[in-house]
Amino acid sequence: MRGMRKGVLLAAAVLVIVSIGLGEELAFVDAPGSPIKVSHAWYGAIGDFNEDGHLDIAVLCPLYYSPDDYSYAEGGTAAVAILLGNGDGTFGEPEFLPVGDGSWDSYTVTAVDTNEDGRLDLVVTNPGTGSLDGYYGWSRGVYVLLGDGTGGFSSPEEFFWPTGYEPKIVTPGDFDKDGHIDLAVTCSSEVDILFGDGSGAFPVRGRLNLMFGSGASGIVAADFHGDGYLDLAVSTMRRENVMVLLNDYGERFRLNVGWYELPSASYALVAGDFNGDGVVDLAAISRTTQVAKEGSYREMYKAHVSVLLGRGDGSFIGPTHIPTDRRHPRSIVAMDWPLGEVKPAKTGNKGGLK
């Protein structure tokens, strides 16, 4: 592990950073050709889309619209930009795949093989216009873009599956243990489970109702109580907590031990064994409002990492809140850096990563 070199992708422009080993220290430098200019880069997924042995990047580029007249901004509809990797930290020119109908109608992109052909596909969440019942004519749900193994993908209109209001984050997993990939999607006040049939289609939809107006955002799947079935943990933006939903043998999910309070709104969380006891733990990223300086009303959002240590029975100890100096936190990743065995939680915000 000590000789490994890893990279970091920051989607705000597409900034690719590669690591270099410096004895016991770890340093990062900009990859050649980085940053890669992609308009309105928002969310990224990594995988070998053309099966050449090199990692590629899919970047979601949603479209902003005028709040006055709902007219489209310059640049057309939302799109996924495909950047094919050369294996040395550089990437080819982006190729764009239009998705949705425009006007902030795409939120996240996830890479997963949905039709069991050994090729990575893309799943894009589509919140629509933000109006209930699609009043302005746009649907809400997920697009599935089937990969062809060359870096190309099917038209998003071929596979669209409806969800609840404001779908945001997708986590894949085989929740009913039928051998096919399913999708768990956070929506405003619910989590939708789209059950896959192995063809790239998700014809059956289950709904897990949460507290009204909870603003479900982050979601992660893991086996929290050791029965072999994937459970779910969900973080919320409006209720400021983490909910743990236990999987009852593929039949249903149930809320376990209520919820765990966070310092403030949470956009994302991650699972991993953070204390080395063999039990899955959780870490959520949240923000706290602070006054920037005396006499100023400008809000500055500082990130907190909240760690929940698993007991192995579906319940957790904590949380323990760890403040950081990051602002506007959006994501968190756990990884094993080559300097040791502990998995530090890395937080991403609008301007970078810590």
Q: How many CA atoms lie within 13 A of 77 on its CB side?
A: 16
Looking at per-residue confidence, does 20 or 150 come out higher? 150
Structure tokens at 98: 């239009």
Average pLDDT, the chain: 76
Q: What angle do CA 174, 178, 181 make, to 5 degrees?
A: 35
Instruction: Check: CB of residue 107 under 8 Å from CB of residue 168.
Output: yes
Tell whether 77 is covered by a domain: no
Cα 153 versus chain centre, distance: 20
Asked whether residue 335 is domain-assigned, the answer is yes
- Listing DSSP states for 184-211 in one string gives EEE-SSEEEEEE--SSS---EEEEEE-S
Q: What is the mean pLDDT of residues 168-183?
A: 95
More confident residue, 102 or 134: 102
Element (H, E) at 167: none
Segment 132-147 shows an average pLDDT of 69
**Residue 157, pLDDT above cutoff 70:** yes
pLDDT at residue 212, as a whole number = 57
Higher pLDDT, 112 or 79: 112
CA distances from 345 to 41, 161, 333 (A): 23, 33, 6
pLDDT at site 344: 44
Higher-scoring residue by pLDDT: 223, 260: 223
Residues 107-124: pLDDT tens digits? 789 999 999 999 999 999
- Asked, for residue 88, whether it belongs to a domain, the answer is no
**Tokens encoding 18:** 């590669």
Predicted confidence (pLDDT) at residue 84 exceeds the cutoff of 90: yes
Give the CA distances from residue 176 to residues 9, 141, 253, in Å, rounded to whole numbers and listed in that order: 33, 21, 11
Range of the domain at 342: 97-353
Query: Could you tell me which residues are beta bridge partners of residue 184?
Result: 171, 193
341 part of a folded domain? yes
What integer pLDDT is reported at residue 116 of this predicted model? 97
Does residue 92 lie within any of the structural domains? Answer: no
Task: Tell me what pLDDT residue 296 has.
Answer: 45
Check which CATH number belongs to the domain holding 319 and give it.
2.130.10.130
CB 122 within 8 A of CB 108: no
Q: State the residue for tokens 């900009």.
A: 30
Note if the bond before 35 is cis, omega within 30 degrees.
yes
- Whether the per-residue pLDDT at 249 is higher than 50: the answer is yes
Q: Name the pLDDT band for 106 (thresholds 50, 70, 90).
A: low
**Reading across the β-sheet that carries 216-222, which strands appear in turn?**
216-222, 231-236, 241-247, 253-261
Mean of pLDDT values over 36-48: 82
Domain contains 212: yes
Bridge-based pairing of strands 121-126 and 141-145 is: antiparallel
Question: Does residue 38 register a pLDDT over 60?
Answer: yes
Residue 222 has pLDDT above 90, yes or no: yes
Q: Is residue 124 part of a domain?
A: yes
Among 157, 172, 190, which Cα is nearest to 108's? 172
How confident is the model at residue 291, as a pLDDT? 47
* pLDDT band (50, 70, 90) for residue 223: very high
pLDDT at 139: 66
- For the chain, what is the domain count? 1
| Residue 344 DSSP class | P
Express as a percent the part of the chain with pLDDT over 90: 32
